[in-house]
Structure 1
Amino acid sequence: MKKLLLSFSMVLVLLSVLVACGDDTSDVNGTSEETNGEVAVHKEGFPIVDEEIKLSLMAPGVGIEDWKNMVTLKRYSEMTNMTFEYITPPVSDFQTRLNLAFASQDLPDIILGAGTGNLTPGMEVDYGRQGVLLPLNDLIDEYAPNLKALMDENPEIARSVTTPDGNIYSLPFINNHPTAVWARGPLWYRGEWLENLGVEELPKTVDEFYDLLVRFRDEDPNNSGQDDTIPLTDVQMNSSRAWLMAAFGMKEWGIEEHDGEVRYAPMTDNYKAYLEFMNKLYDEKLLDPETFSQADEQKKAKGQENRIGLFPDWFSFFTTGQPEEEAVKDPMFFPLTSEWSQDRVVPANPGMVRGTFSLTKYNEHPEASMRWIDYWYSTEGRDFFDKGPEGYLWEANEDGTRNPLPAPEGFESPEEYRATLTPTYGITPPMLGDLVEGEPRSDFDLFIQAETEEKITPFSETPFPLVYLTDDEQRTVNTIQQDLSSYIEQMEARFITGVEPLSNWDDYVSTIKSMNVEEYINIHQEAYDRWAQN
């Protein structure tokens, strides 16, 4: 951690910076470099600096291996000529430790892997305004060509990490993986049931979907000879809701944006239509009657007993218990249309997580620090930090492809071994997420990508962009949101199960309005307008 410098030392540092100002030289290889104090920072290639520098870095630790022992970080230190003091409190304690560091001003040079749950958007705005976090805009332009290229390719990245004062105080994790568009785990049909019923084409409208669920209920699709089938199941509707709401023209169970206008979906007529449809499924035993009372373990048990026709999970075999080879027969849910939505829509993940890399005011080498992290946003750097150097998890074939290596004795899986090699395990790192080049892909991997490209990607829309709220806005939103979320969650279950008749809809909307929902909407509209102007 950095201590406050004595005033005399501050003068010396300022003088050295002034002397170096404007010094732009080239090395013998023609590589451009600039000086920061007495340390020259190369803009290209490795090492980043000729004279070794040491910085402090704080990140969540998963407790499997000390960062100082990780071969990837050791190798990268050799490549860059930059070494670190790693401060890695456990993930469970990280937020507390980070808050204490800010409160005491006993901060590291770099905060890495925090994510928005620990380094919140409000903290970025607040500590950026105070000067505790450094603005990164100019550093990105000058020292981060890989990240800059990604931002130029996708302008939404810069808009999503730019705070209301026009500055960027934290870098994102950028996910370009084939499944990055998933907002949550998809819905999956049990392929065996479809085959037994002779279903050759998946439902594409709400009415066709209803008809198939009826067949799942009535025609013994699991060939058990018993009345034991469950057409559709979930746990609290938490995973299926988004896919089914989309059929009625909604993208989010809360604030969402349509053509620049912000609305609160749970008080719209579209949402009422969704509730009416789900209540119909519940009354006709097409929706599992235990949806609002069961745990995920119970849902999975039903799947392993071959009793479920449609269910949510990240992959179907997580619920069915079948091997991957069989899971390729379970097709992904196709988005539906209805009288409320003639266009297919799927809620999409923004593909970014903010708050993953920040520099504090105590960092004496921000240029070198930005060069250091920019490698993580390159294809080469991504592969390096994802799987480590050659000889541990992989070896290269003559054709440039990679051959996976088994985990050493004592590790249950390559993934567990990976956690000892690289820091990108168990946290959200500041990097480009994507497939590793040259790594072999299974038939299941290719199946998942094909299903995603057919049934999600063409119809995906981000419900609401990643925006920043001011301190006052955030406090107001937090107060209103807590009551709103609790109320709509309670009422969704009551409406779907029929405990609360939908004839009470107007009273429900009036209650929502009494919770200051208009102010809630207006705050998000103003934040969206700021975002759109960046």
Structure 2
Amino acid sequence: MERKIRKLGHILLVTALALSLAACGSSAGKDQAAGETSPEGKTAEPPKLNHLTYWVSMHSAAAAQMKTYAEMGMYKELENITGVKVDFQHPPTDSAQAQEQFNLMMVSEKLPDVIETSWIGYPGGPEKAIQDNKIIKLNDLIDQYAPNLKKLLDEHEDWKKQVTTDDGSLYMFPFFRGGEKVRVFYGPSIRKDWLDKLGLQVPTTIDEWYQVLKAFKEKDPNGNGKADEIPLYITKDDVGIDAPFLGAWGINYGFYQIDNQVKFGPIQPEYKEFLTTMNKWYKEGLLDKDFAAPNDKLFDAKMTGNQLGAAPTYNGGGIGKYANLMKDKDPNFNLVAAPYPVLNPGDKPLWGQKDFATNGIGAAISTSNPNPIETVKWLDYAYGDKGELLFNYGKEGEAYKMDNGKPVFLPEVLNPPSGVSLQQSFAKHNRSTWSAPFVLSDDFQMQYLALPNQRDALEIWSKPTDERKMPLVTPTKDESSQYASIMTDINTYKDEMFLKFIMGAEPLDNFDKYVKKIEAMGIEDAIKIQQASLDRFNKR
């Protein structure tokens, strides 16, 4: 997964929405929808679905090798099976531009038939999207026409709770992570070959990290005789909700809860302690000088240029990616997982990355869709046995084969040529390395994590309890506009001050003034809204 795709359930609520995208549905019109009674008094048969328009952001691993998801092996085979041709509509891969296009699209009168996004971010939540007549409520349709998804929801009450609104509405065909092994995929990583060269162990505490980073800075672990090592790359986005490093102080960069009481991390006294540490590291040259302006291509260049000692990364899109990119260039390159750091030896890490069963992303059916029943049936295919194979692996014979009753990826998929990441190799066949409306399989994950370092990372990064993480809550319509107004300004200010405090442009002696300003901007009201949302979630 890309470094930027993080914690979709906690994104700021999107702004008012807008732009007309041409979105022709299937061949049938709305004046006689599926199941309606014709003028002759006979019930019309649902027209056969043969065409769908489908809006979804394209992942960079796919965009590098195709213009549309329709070229992906999975979707080509799905068209062969169902007879439904899908016209995918992809916004720009830049996240800000994609959000702008989504905003514009959603106020148009004609919407694509299916819209896949993180619906938690809609102003007022997905229930408001239903009330705004943008997407349809799916409860009855799923009960009658989606036996595969209905079975999953009936068997997993906790999953159903996470994809149901406070008012009890089902609104999307969700992306589910089916087991524990597919919910952890991100964390701190470090160059083990550099540690070995300097006679150091993988750090576990903040103090140990400091000593290791100083050694990376001063002792030329890349061996080129130049002081060009970058000990640690960590950005504001990396600090984020999962809180690598910040989590050592027991807080995160947003809202969290302790015993169902909501708090805001960036105004806690512990946050000042974190900033003080990062300010020291920055002054001593232990943080990447470019950390204030993250750039994925520049990050890749630094990692593959043998300059970077440590960074939070993804398991497949980080540890696996760079192992493959560097296997011919530098056989000694060895990027491994490090534990989420704590303050004291033996402390249990509270914060780490672990997704819920769902991340808030799913495919909703728009009110412009003339064939909701047939679309429900089409989407439900992914949640059955055959659909699970197709969506997790791709087409049999092209991407995988069956071996003793289990799907096994073909060697050419698992071992792409140097310069092609494993994620890009999979992306030719499926969407399993990011998200889609289906259930991600543990069996897939254990094949994707083909390297010992990746399997070790899964175990290491699974240690945090994540007990303080907020579930995917949503404000009401009335709360939404107030919350967005408050948090837009607060988040802009806290992000600005994050950089200023660490880089020394703002003295840490002014931290109390910073807290008072955030309080004056209405953070207590935002906390109350989050508390009310959490209370409603707990009652679902």
TM > 0.5? yes
Structure 2 Cα separation of the partners of residues 140 and 497 of structure 1? 52
Measured at CA, do residues 341 and 140 of structure 1 come closer, stay the same or move farther in structure 2, by a change above 3 Å?
A: farther
Structure whose CA Rg is larger: 1
Other-structure match for 2:9: none
Measured at CA, do residues 519 and 13 of structure 1 come closer, stay the same or move farther in structure 2, by a change above 3 Å?
A: farther
Other-structure match for 1:169: 171
Equivalent residue for 1:336, pick from 315, 320, 341: 341
2:189, 2:338 within 8 Å by CA — same for their partners in 1?
yes
Instruction: Say whether residues 1:239 and 2:242 are aligned partners.
Output: no
Structure 2 Cα separation of the partners of residues 522 and 14 of structure 1? 57
2:321, 2:422 within 8 Å by CA — same for their partners in 1?
no
SS for the counterpart of 2:364 is strand
Gaps of 5+ in 1: 18-36, 40-50
Instruction: Say whether residues 1:505 and 2:501 are aligned partners.
Output: no
1:60, 1:94 within 8 Å by CA — same for their partners in 2?
no
1:196, 1:222 within 8 Å by CA — same for their partners in 2?
no
Instruction: Say whether residues 1:483 and 2:494 are aligned partners.
Output: no
Other-structure match for 1:346: 351
2:30, 2:370 within 8 Å by CA — same for their partners in 1?
no
SS for the counterpart of 2:211 is helix
- Counterpart residue identity of residue 345, structure 1: L
Gaps of 5+ in 2: 1-24
* TM-score normalized by the length of structure 2: 0.75
The alpha-carbon deviation at position 490 of structure 1 amounts to 1.5
The alpha-carbon deviation at position 433 of structure 1 amounts to 2.0
Measured at CA, do residues 476 and 149 of structure 1 come closer, stay the same or move farther in structure 2, by a change above 3 Å?
A: same
Structure 2 Cα separation of the partners of residues 403 and 319 of structure 1? 21
Equivalent residue for 1:495, pick from 480, 493, 501: 501
2:256, 2:264 within 8 Å by CA — same for their partners in 1?
yes
Other-structure match for 2:439: 432
The alpha-carbon deviation at position 163 of structure 1 amounts to 1.9
Other-structure match for 1:5: 31
Structure 1 Cα separation of the partners of residues 322 and 69 of structure 2? 35
Structure 2 Cα separation of the partners of residues 313 and 77 of structure 1? 35
Structure 2 Cα separation of the partners of residues 14 and 169 of structure 1? 34
2:401, 2:409 within 8 Å by CA — same for their partners in 1?
yes
* TM-score normalized by the length of structure 1: 0.76
Structure 1 Cα separation of the partners of residues 444 and 105 of structure 2? 39
The alpha-carbon deviation at position 167 of structure 1 amounts to 1.0
Aligned residues: 490
Instruction: Say whether residues 1:471 and 2:470 are aligned partners.
Output: no
SS for the counterpart of 2:310 is strand
Q: Following superposition of structure 1 onto structure 2, how do residues 125-524 of structure 1 map, counting pairs within 5 Å?
A: 125-129=127-131, 133-152=135-154, 154-176=156-178, 180-182=182-184, 185-200=186-201, 202-224=202-224, 227-234=227-234, 236-240=235-239, 242-250=243-251, 252-292=252-292, 295-314=295-314, 315-316=318-319, 322-323=326-327, 329-338=334-343, 342-348=347-353, 349-354=355-360, 356-360=362-366, 366=372, 369-397=375-403, 400-402=406-408, 404=410, 406=412, 424=431, 428-434=435-441, 443-444=450-451, 446-461=452-467, 463-524=469-530
Measured at CA, do residues 376 and 96 of structure 1 come closer, stay the same or move farther in structure 2, by a change above 3 Å?
A: same
Measured at CA, do residues 58 and 257 of structure 1 come closer, stay the same or move farther in structure 2, by a change above 3 Å?
A: same
RMSD: 4.3
Structure 2 Cα separation of the partners of residues 65 and 226 of structure 1? 42
Structure 2 Cα separation of the partners of residues 294 and 57 of structure 1? 34
Measured at CA, do residues 282 and 396 of structure 1 come closer, stay the same or move farther in structure 2, by a change above 3 Å?
A: same
1:146, 1:378 within 8 Å by CA — same for their partners in 2?
yes
Instruction: Say whether residues 1:113 and 2:109 are aligned partners.
Output: no
The alpha-carbon deviation at position 440 of structure 1 amounts to 5.4
SS for the counterpart of 1:511 is helix
Other-structure match for 1:26: none
- After superposition, the C-alpha distances for 1:397-416 in whole angstroms (9 at most, x for unaligned) are 567553527589xxx89977
Most deviating of 237-246 and 516-525: 237-246
- Counterpart residue identity of residue 211, structure 2: D
1:65, 1:419 within 8 Å by CA — same for their partners in 2?
no
1:239, 1:312 within 8 Å by CA — same for their partners in 2?
yes
Structure 2 Cα separation of the partners of residues 121 and 153 of structure 1? 30
- Counterpart residue identity of residue 116, structure 2: G
The alpha-carbon deviation at position 188 of structure 1 amounts to 1.4
- After superposition, the C-alpha distances for 1:465-515 in whole angstroms (9 at most, x for unaligned) are 212222332222222222112211111122122222211111111111111
- Counterpart residue identity of residue 58, structure 1: Y
- After superposition, the C-alpha distances for 1:305-331 in whole angstroms (9 at most, x for unaligned) are 434332233314756852299588432
Structure 1 Cα separation of the partners of residues 86 and 487 of structure 2? 37
Structure 2 Cα separation of the partners of residues 300 and 98 of structure 1? 29
